[in-house]
């Protein structure tokens, strides 16, 4: 197995992060620094990350969290804010989030110690649609809808066509369902800004076929076997 995949599948980190650790010289194979991410790990090789020997396989855990407002989707925060790690304190395995949600975005976040799967799911070439419900200011006119559906410039990047549906138009705000398969930073907020609406609330309700369902904010559940198989098949 390739060295970066081996580290990721041991649940140490994502494959992308493993590449960085390898490039930085923090990974040793049989006592010597190894900077080739494609090195083929052989039976009996001793791999160390930052001086700690790692075991190849670990029990894999996959959970869906309903992230509340005011949590960051990292496992530690330098500003001491609450993190999603604070929501899953009763799972001893070290999990990390698959992708990210903004501090003030709520809803579905997947977490796992399967770094390889996490890598594949967040890779731009994987076109997994993520669906959000946004409460936005003002009126969502047909022209604005058409722009969002076509793709908008969010500052040097033109988004791919989105699926957009107005769920409710109030006098001064609207509730809109939007599905995108890209994951640019603050993408949904920027897309609405680009057409003249401000996002006031944002919740992610699904990632591909995985749905948030009726889980309470701050709670989590283990994914079902079918859901795990589905994610692996993507």
Please indicate whether residue 102 is annotated as part of the active site.
yes
Between 9 and 73, CB nearer to ligand URA:
73
CB of 60 to ligand URA, least distance (A): 25
Between 26 and 137, CB nearer to ligand URA:
137
| Residue 147 is a binding residue for ligand URA (CB under 6 A) | no
| Residue 188 is a binding residue for ligand URA (CB under 6 A) | yes
The DSSP secondary structure of 70-86, one letter per residue, reads: T-BSSS--TT---BGGG
Stretch near ligand URA under the rule CB under 6 A, chosen from 37-45, 98-106, 145-153, 167-175: 98-106
Q: Is 76 exposed, middle or buried, given 0-12, 13-18 or 19+ CB atoms closer than 10 A? A: exposed
d(C-alpha 169, C-alpha 148), whole Å:
16
| Residue 105 is a binding residue for ligand URA (CB under 6 A) | yes
Give me the count of residues in the chain.
234
The DSSP secondary structure of 45-57, one letter per residue, reads: --EEETTEE--S-
Between 45 and 201, CB nearer to ligand URA:
201
H-run or E-run covering 17: helix 15-23
Q: Give the HSE-up count for residue 109: Cα atoms under 13 Å, Cβ half-sphere.
A: 33
Between 59 and 79, CB nearer to ligand URA:
79
For residue 104, how many other CB atoms are within 10 A of its CB?
Answer: 14
CB of 81 to ligand URA, least distance (A): 15
Stretch near ligand URA under the rule CB under 6 A, chosen from 82-90, 101-109, 147-155, 221-229: 101-109
| Residue 101 is a binding residue for ligand URA (CB under 6 A) | yes
Give the list of residues 6+ apart from residue 122 with CB closer than 8 angstroms, or none. 14, 16, 98, 99, 183
| Residue 112 is a binding residue for ligand URA (CB under 6 A) | no
Active-site positions? Answer: 102
**Interface residues toward ligand URA, by CB under 6 A:** 101-102, 105, 186-189, 202
């Amino acid at each position: 197995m390739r060295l970066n995949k081996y580290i990721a599948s041991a649940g140490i980190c994502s494959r992308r992060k493993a590449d960085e650790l390898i490039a930085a010289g923090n990974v040793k194979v049989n006592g010597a620094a190894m900077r080739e991410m494609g090195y083929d790990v052989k039976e009996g090789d001793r791999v160390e990350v930052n001086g700690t020997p790692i075991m190849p396989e670990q029990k894999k855990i996959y959970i869906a969290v309903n992230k509340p407002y005011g949590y960051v989707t990292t496992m530690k925060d330098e500003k001491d804010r609450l993190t999603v790690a604070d929501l899953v304190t009763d799972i001893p395995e070290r999990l990390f989030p698959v992708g990210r949600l903004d501090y003030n975005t709520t809803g579905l976040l997947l977490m796992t110690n399967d770094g390889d799967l996490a890598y594949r799911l967040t890779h731009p070439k994987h076109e997994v649609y993520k669906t959000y419900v946004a409460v936005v200011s003002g009126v969502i006119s047909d022209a604005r809808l058409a722009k969002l559906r076509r793709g908008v410039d969010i500052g040097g990047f033109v988004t791919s066509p989105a699926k957009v549906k107005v769920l409710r138009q109030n006098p001064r705000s609207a509730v809109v369902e939007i599905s995108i398969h890209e994951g640019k930073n603050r993408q949904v907020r920027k897309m609405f800004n680009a057409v003249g609406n401000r996002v006031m609330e944002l919740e992610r309700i699904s990632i591909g076929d995985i749905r948030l369902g009726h889980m309470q904010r701050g709670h989590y559940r283990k994914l079902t076997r079918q859901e795990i198989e589905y994610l692996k098949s993507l």
